[in-house]
């Protein structure tokens, strides 16, 4: 079991020369954890509730972007595998069938099945503190994340017709529909606000799917959701917006 006695602050592992990154991180995502520390901390916090990698299944949604993969891999390692819920921007499009499939794969040696959900859309912040900018290995020009959200900022839909489901662009058109239901035309926010709005939609979708697919009389579960932040020097951070367990039919906060 990982040893971590207390939450780490965001100041502990900020790369050198990244003062402006740290300022932007702390202003927008106060209390963010280095992602390694978050993975340890999630296990540490669930241990008293009897949830561990031997008796629980981890279900994870991050963006499809390859820079989100190392965080997924850390969770995979810590939890002996994960059921991958991911879509563009970390949205949850797998539906009842996908949730039920994950639940049917959970260990069931205990009387109660146990599920741990992680749902984290992402944003990059570069060394200058600019949200959206990042560096990718092998690419010379500055890159961006989350590309799906930045595409909506740069080319917002105009009119109801542009919110139709596009069979050739299913995930992006679903994302556009959901965001414009939340923000409306002419109200395109900045990238940080758009990312936080996306995370709220993901949390609402996650909790609705849990209600639709879980029987709390025989199931315990935990929810961790927030935002993954890609900083300079390929370091990742995790900002937690909501975390709780639902054990023996009672919800308890984790932080």
The residues that touch Zn ion, with contacts defined as CB under 5 A, are: 63, 65, 146
Q: 191-213 and 95-104 helices cross at what angle (nearest 10)?
A: 60
C-beta of 65 vs 126, nearer to Zn ion: 65
35 or 43: CB nearest Zn ion: 35
Q: Which is nearer to Zn ion, 88 or 214 (CB)?
A: 88
Which among 247, 250, 206, 242 is positioned nearest to 46, based on CA atoms? Answer: 247
d(CA 46, CA 190): 35
The CB-of-121 to Zn ion minimum distance in angstroms stands at: 7
Question: Which lies closer to Zn ion via its Cβ, residue 56 or residue 61?
Answer: 61
Smallest gap from Cβ 118 to Zn ion, in A, equals 16
Using the CB atoms, write b or e for 54-65: b if 16+ within 10 Å: ebbbbbbbbbbb
Q: How far is CA 54 from CA 12, 79, 115, 215, 231, in A?
A: 31, 8, 11, 21, 32
What is the closest distance, in whole angstroms, from the C-beta atom of residue 1 to Zn ion in the complex? Answer: 32
Nearer to Zn ion, 63 or 229 (CB): 63
Residue 111 Cβ, how far from Zn ion at the closest point, in Å?
39
- Which of these, 89, 60, 123, lies nearest to 201 by C-alpha position? 89
Give min distance, CB of 4 to Zn ion, in A.
28
């Amino acid at each position: 079991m990982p040893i971590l006695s207390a939450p780490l602050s965001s100041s502990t592992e900020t790369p050198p020369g990244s003062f402006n990154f740290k300022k932007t991180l702390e202003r927008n995502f106060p209390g963010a954890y280095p992602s390694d520390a978050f993975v340890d901390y999630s296990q540490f916090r669930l241990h008293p509730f009897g949830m561990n990698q031997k008796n629980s299944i981890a279900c994870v949604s991050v963006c499809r972007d390859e820079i989100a993969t190392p965080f997924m891999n850390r969770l995979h390692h810590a939890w002996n595998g994960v059921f991958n819920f991911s879509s563009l921007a970390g949205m949850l499009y797998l539906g009842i069938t996908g949730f039920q499939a994950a639940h049917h794969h959970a260990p069931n040696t205990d009387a109660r099945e146990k599920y741990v959900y992680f749902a984290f859309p992402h944003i990059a912040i570069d060394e200058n503190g600019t949200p959206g900018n990042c560096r990718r290995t092998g690419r010379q020009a500055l890159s961006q994340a989350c590309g799906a959200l930045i595409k909506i900022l740069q080319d917002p839909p105009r009119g109801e017709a542009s919110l139709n489901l596009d069979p050739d662009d299913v995930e992006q058109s679903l994302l556009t529909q959901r965001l414009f239901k939340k923000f409306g035309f002419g109200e395109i926010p900045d990238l940080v606000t758009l990312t936080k709005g996306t995370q709220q939609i993901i949390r609402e979708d996650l909790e609705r799917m849990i209600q639709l697919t879980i029987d709390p009389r025989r199931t315990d579960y935990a929810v961790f959701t927030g935002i993954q932040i890609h900083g300079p020097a390929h370091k990742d951070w995790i900002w937690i917006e909501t975390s709780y367990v639902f054990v023996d039919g009672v919800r308890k906060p984790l932080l």
